[in-house]
Structure 1
Amino acid sequence: MRINGKSIASNLVLIIVSLLILGPLFLILNISMKTTEEFLNNPVTIFKTLNWSNFKVAWIQAEMKVYFKNSFIYTIFGALGTCVIATLAAYPIARKHFKGSNLIYLLFLSAIFLPGGLVPLLFIMKFMGFTNTYYGFILMKIAYGLPIAIFILVGFVKGLPKELDEAAAIDGCGYFRYILTVVFPLIKPAFLTVAMLSAIGIWNDFINPYLFITDKEMRPLTSGLYMFFGQYSTNWTVLSAGIILVAAPLVLLYFFLQRFIISGVTSGAVKG
């Protein structure tokens, strides 16, 4: 049997990368199951018993019931808005239904690589009355997610046969009806990919809520984790449990959608 050196090197790199990613996750999970005494005595040893009380303390101390509600509102409406707007924009751009579609597409692509202007954004949000509001923060996150969403969806739409457009036009199918009944089912993997990427960006956002949401009752879940940091000490076991609670919903969502996400990203990257 012949040994392939490239295959061994690739597998070795994948193993190293997997350990670098899974190592910190296992460390956080291990700390979350320990008592404070066990953690202070030896932080790196494996927990002896399952200490679920840390999760209860984290849920109550960080007021996660309120923050979970806010995070779900921002994430669901932000991701859904990004997907709908990106789908409606990607189809005419991919089919070049108007003059300057290539220029519009180039502007969206440039927004992926250019940093966002924080000072102008602060001025616009304040001028339009979007600060400290649910809808203002959701609209801002939709704007942040549109460039990468349109990039993925345009690449996917370009791979659809144009004969479908002609057949729908002959049958008298309306423009928006065609997008809803024909285009949308065909780009479902890319749509779910965009939804997942948008949800991750909104759910994990930590800085923007502190800049644009001053009301504590309106801040998302990531802001609750900051409550565990004290001036002189930090309860690392409860903090680790809080991190697990924050990360768990997205991990479960990715677990169920990973097949669509992988196919959507690869298709959007190579088509067009």
Structure 2
Amino acid sequence: MSMRRKWGHGLANLLLAAASLCILAPVLLIVNVALKSNNEFLNRPSSFVESWEWENFGEAWKQAEMGLYFKNSVLFTVVVALGTCIIATMAAYPIARKHFRGTNVLYLMFLSALFLPVALVPQVMLMKYLGFLNTYHGFIMLKIGGSLAIAIFILTGFIKGLPKELDEAAVVDGCGYLRYIFTFVFPLTKSALSTVAMLTGIGTWNDFINPFLFLTDKDMRPLTAGLYMFFGQYSTNWTIMAAGIIVVASPLMAAYFLLQRYIISGVTSGAVKG
């Protein structure tokens, strides 16, 4: 290996290490605060934790009523991710195979949605007109609609790389259109679907603004709404709030580590084949 290449690899590793530190430092800071008592945090906010207060997590779960909010978050995340994967696949397959005229125009319309700002006021007016405000199905449909653009972009690029001979063989064997999508396209796009499900799940699980706009009933709001309970008018218990942040973020972190292999392969395959 030449000296220039060694310097290049060393510089790349240094930049990656710096980027990793920038990402991990806030996480470690929150963990450090979450394990402190309130008195220890107020007296020594920047020091390392001395006595670990595991009770903070139970107190955060209790104070923020996270039991109810956790059920709502799981419901929204699972249904939105599953619905987005199904609808996006059924839309991306005919676009990738150009089964009708105007597929390129339709595809560009979906791509343009990635760059357009979110129109909250028209969304509120439309949801109110349709009677979808403060309903589970209305909020789920809103989140699915907002996730379709990036999902169709990823899946279309991935499906273009699938051999068309499979389509022809399915037609010869008498396989129906929907049956072919569910029995062949879905398994073959497993890695891309994992990427779509993870991106959609992150957006739904971490959503904070939309639940307050479209779900006026407090009992219907997701887990992120529970974090708002920790902010008081005159004081805030920062250690309990930090524990609550960890409780909210932990399920997504666990899901990412479990699906990491599929997510990375889905992104790279879609980028190469698109």
TM range (shorter): over 0.9
CA distance in 1 between partners of 2:55 and 2:30 (Å): 15
Give 1:110 shift: 0.4
Deviation at 1:5, TM superposition (A): 1.4
Q: Distance in 2 between matches of 1:192 and 1:49?
A: 40
Residue of structure 2 equivalent to 1:203: 205
Number of aligned residues? 272
Residue 26 (structure 1) aligned to one of 28, 45, 62 = 28
| 1:106 aligned residue (91, 105, 108) | 108
Q: Given residue 154 of structure 1, which amino acid in structure 2 is its aligned partner?
A: T
**Aligned with residue 63 of structure 1, among 62, 65, 89:** 65
Matched, 1:192 2:217: no
Equivalent in the alignment of 1:165? 167
Q: Which structure 2 segments of 5+ residues have no match?
A: none
Could you tell me how far apart the structure 2 residues matched to 1:48 and 1:85 are? 51
- Counterpart CA distance in 2 for 1:182 and 1:126 is 39
1: CA distance, partners of 2:225 / 2:182: 37
Runs of 4+ in structure 1 deviating by more than 3 angstroms, as ranges, are none
Determine the structure 2 residue equivalent to 1:136: 138
After superposition, residues 122-271 of structure 1 pair within 5 angstroms as 122-271=124-273
- Residue 46 of structure 1 aligns with which residue? 48
- For normalisation by structure 1, the TM-score amounts to 0.98
Match of 2:90?
88
Deviations 1:176-233 (A, max 9, x none): 1111111111100001110010000000000001111110000110010011011121
Shifted more, 155-164 versus 262-271: the winner is 262-271
> Counterpart of 2:113 in structure 1: which amino acid?
A
Which whole-Å CA distance do the structure 1 matches of 2:262 and 2:239 have between them?
35
SS class of match (2:113): helix
1:135 and 1:179 mapped to 2: Cα distance?
Answer: 25
133-142 or 36-45, which deviates more: 36-45
Root-mean-square deviation (Å): 0.9
Quick one: distance in 2 between partners of 1:35 and 1:89? 52
Classify the secondary structure of the residue corresponding to 1:112. Answer: coil
What is the Cα deviation at residue 116 of structure 1? 1.7
Deviation at 1:49, TM superposition (A): 2.4
Q: 5+ residue gaps in structure 1?
A: none
